[in-house]
Chains A and B, each alone.
Chain A
Amino acid sequence: MAEYAYSAPLSIDDAVGILEDHANSGRRAQVLAGGTDLIVQMRGTDREPRTIVDIKRLEETNRIDADGDDIYIGAAIASAVLDEHEELKRLLPGLLESAYLIGSTQIQGRATLGGNLCNSSPAADTIPAMIANRGACVIAGPGGRREVPVEDFCTGVGTNVLEAGEFLLGLRFPRPAPGTADAYLRFIPRTEMDIAVAGAGVSVTLDGNGVCTAARVGIGAVAPTPLIVPEAAESLVGTRVDDDALVAAGEACTAASSPISDKRGTVSYRLKVVGVLCRRAGAIARDRVLARGG
Chain B
Amino acid sequence: MTKMHVQTSINGETVEFLCSPQQTLLEALREIVGRQGTKEGCGTGDCGACSVLIDDRLVCSCLVFAAETQGAEVTTIEGIAGDGGLHPLQEKFLEHAALQCGICTPGFIVAAKSLLDRDPDPDEETIRYWLAGNLCRCTGYDKIIRAVQDAAGELAYQA
Contact = CB atoms under 8 A, between A and B. Distances in A.
Interface of A: 3-6, 8, 32, 34-36, 39-40, 42-44, 49, 52, 54, 56, 78, 80, 103-107, 109-110, 191-193
Nearest to B110: A106
B21 A109 contact: no
Contacts, number: 95
Contacts of B14: none
Interface in B45-82: 45-46, 48, 51, 54, 57-60, 62-65, 67-68, 70
Contacts of A43: 43-44
Nearest to A34: B63
Given A52-B65, A193-B46, A110 B59 contact: yes
B133 A106 contact: yes
Nearest to B19: A6
B2 interface: yes
A35 B65 CA distance: 8
Interface residues of B, number: 34
Given A52-B21, A80-B57, A109-B59, A193 B64 contact: no
A32 B21 contact: no
Contact of A192 (B45, B63, B133): B133
B107 to A, nearest CB: 9
A6 B4 contact: yes
Interface centre among B20, B65, B114, B131 (most CB of A within 10 A): B65
Contact of A106 (B20, B59, B68): B59
Contacts of B111: 105-106
A56 B68 contact: yes
A105 B133 contact: yes
Interface of B: 1-2, 4, 20-22, 24, 43-46, 48, 51, 54, 57-60, 62-65, 67-68, 70, 111, 114-115, 129-134
A113 B41 CA distance: 27
A110 B64 contact: yes
B65 A105 contact: no
Given A105-B132, A192-B133, A110 B63 contact: yes
Given A43-B44, A110-B59, A52 B129 contact: no
B48 A106 contact: yes
Nearest to B107: A106
